Amino acid sequence: MGKNILSFIQSVIFNRKFQIGVVIILFLLPTLFAAREACKDLNEFSSPRQESVCTYLIEEKPVTSALLLSFTQMFILIILASNWNLMGGFTGYIDFGHAVFFGLGAFGTALLMGSSRWEEWPAIISDWSFWPAMIGGGVVAAIFAILIGSATLRLKGPYFSIAMLGTLVAVREIVRLSTNYSGGGLGLSLPVYLNRPLFYYLSLIILLIVVNFIKWLRATEFGATLVAIREDEIGAEMRGINTTLHKITAFTVAAFITGAVGGMWAYQNTFIDTDIAFQQTRTIDMVMMSMLGGLGTVSGPVLGSIVLYWLRDIVWANFLLYHQIFEGVLLIIIVLYVPNGIMGLFKKENDGTTLRDITKNWFKQSSKENKPNGGQKE
């Protein structure tokens, strides 16, 4: 019975027509919002039908500004989780500090848009318009990824994870200390531009591009190489693969997209400071969402983000005070009891892309722990 429901859900979710339909609905959603805004301006209605439609839109509130914001946040989280999955899932380098690129992108964009509080800030890199500034934020994050990655990507396993966690904490402190650039505790204010549909469409388009890009990447030789590094890094090296170059490239691509999204988020938020830009919970979000969906799969982070986002929305709405406790406990529960994620429930047999396989292969177990199925109780 349970299997039937699962396979039905699977057949619906992975149906191409269903996916395209969802995307079309998502694209049409803001028109209802725009129609509602237009209705508010009308004083008298030209026809009874228009009046009934407008009454419905205004009184029933099918699409509000808050709903668009919710969706935008969800799209951003999906993009971040998919990016994190590029390193954490495909390459097998679990990154506990990925939010550092988000924060750097946000600060880079803010500074390029001329929100510096410093008098002597050079004019040539300020007052940029939003689009080049967003790309600039991504570039800042990517350059930092190349610098930091060439050191930390030499570390293996838990060492990499903790070094990246350290990167996040250290960079946050450095940014906080360099008051000239970051505004210190005051933070930076960006030019105010309230346009929900714009950010909605922008994040939706980036989301579609990123997910399809990662899907394409997974199918190319480059993606296969990343998986080979995850499975057996020394073996891959012996085959003549330049593993360091591949790792740094994947790391930089992920950092670039994360940084650009951070820039977009900063512009949408209109105010940033070190604590909200380098929020540690953002990393946890990425890790949890990828894990809940299924580590190392293309659709896993997308599904995981959607499920977790709405689940958390319910928690926030009802138990705001306890939401972080909930996150910590949920992470433990996911890791212990649903290690393969939602995609693992769908899969008939493991093909080396689920968490259990990754962990089994990635951390070479010493012989004493070498039990079938990784020492887990079934």
Partner 1 sequence: MDFSDLLIQTLINGILIGGLYAVMMLGFSVIWGVMGVINLAHGDFLMVGAYMTWVLNKTYGWEPFVALIVILPLMFLIGYITQYTLINRILEKPHLVALLVTYGLGIAIASTVKVIYTANPRITITKFSGYLEFGEVVLPVTKSLVLVAALIMMVGLYIFLQKTRFGKSMRAAAQSKEAARMVGIDINRVYAITFGICIALTGAAGMLISPIGAINPFMGTAWTLKAFAITAMSGLGNIPGALLGGMVLGIVENLLATFVPNIGSGIGIITSYILLVFVLVTKPQGLFGGLKPPQDVS
- Report how far residue 227's alpha carbon sits from residue 358's, in angstroms, rounded to the nearest whole number: 10
Nearer to partner 1, 163 or 303 (CB): 163
Question: Does the protein bind partner 1 through residue 197 (CB under 8 A)?
Answer: no
Q: How far is the CB of 374 from partner 1 (least distance, A)?
A: 7
Nearer to partner 1, 154 or 215 (CB): 154
Question: Does the protein bind partner 1 through residue 208 (CB under 8 A)?
Answer: no
Task: Return the sign of the alpha-carbon dihedral for residues 196, 187, 305, 258.
Answer: positive
> Which tokens sit at 271?
């105010």
Contact 112, 137 (CB under 8 A): yes
Q: Which of 26, 170, 198, 208 binds partner 1 (CB under 8 A)?
A: 170
Question: Does the protein bind partner 1 through residue 167 (CB under 8 A)?
Answer: yes
Nearer to partner 1, 263 or 301 (CB): 301
Q: Which of 159, 193, 216, 310 binds partner 1 (CB under 8 A)?
A: 159
Residue type, 295: L
Burial class (CB in 10 A: 0-12, 13-18, 19+), 290: buried
> Which tokens sit at 374?
């990784």
Q: Where are the alpha helices (DSSP H) in 42-129?
A: 48-60, 65-85, 99-112
Q: How many chain residues interact with partner 1 (CB under 8 A)?
A: 55
Q: Which of 72, 83, 161, 305 binds partner 1 (CB under 8 A)?
A: 161
Q: Which residue has the tokens 């026809």?
A: 47
Question: Does the protein bind partner 1 through residue 54 (CB under 8 A)?
Answer: no
In sequence order, the β-bridge partners of residue 188 are: 272
Nearer to partner 1, 23 or 177 (CB): 177
- Report how far residue 192's alpha carbon sits from residue 180's, in angstroms, rounded to the nearest whole number: 21
Question: Does the protein bind partner 1 through residue 166 (CB under 8 A)?
Answer: yes
Question: Does the protein bind partner 1 through residue 248 (CB under 8 A)?
Answer: no
**Piece in contact with partner 1 (CB under 8 A), picked from 55-63, 172-180, 191-199, 213-221:** 172-180
Q: Which of 13, 67, 155, 248 binds partner 1 (CB under 8 A)?
A: 155
**Piece in contact with partner 1 (CB under 8 A), picked from 29-37, 204-212, 284-292, 297-305:** 284-292
Candidates 344, 334, 262, 244; CA nearest to 98 is 262
Neighbours of 129 (CB within 10 A): 10
- Report how far residue 318's alpha carbon sits from residue 128's, in angstroms, rounded to the nearest whole number: 41
Residue type, 132: P
Q: Which of 53, 331, 338, 345 binds partner 1 (CB under 8 A)?
A: 331
**Piece in contact with partner 1 (CB under 8 A), picked from 220-228, 255-263, 308-316, 333-341:** 333-341
Q: How far is the CB of 154 from partner 1 (least distance, A)?
A: 6
**Piece in contact with partner 1 (CB under 8 A), picked from 120-128, 195-203, 310-318, 368-376:** 368-376
Residues in the chain: 378
Residue type, 343: M
- Report how far residue 252's alpha carbon sits from residue 130's, in angstroms, rounded to the nearest whole number: 22
Buried b (16+ CB within 10 A) or exposed e, 217-241: bbeeeebebbbbbbeebeebeeeeb
Q: How far is the CB of 16 from partner 1 (least distance, A)?
A: 34
Q: Which residues bind partner 1 (CB under 8 A)?
A: 94, 96, 151-152, 154-159, 161-163, 165-167, 169-170, 173-174, 176-177, 233-234, 280-281, 284, 287, 291, 321-322, 324-325, 327-332, 335-336, 339, 359-360, 362-366, 368-369, 371, 374-376
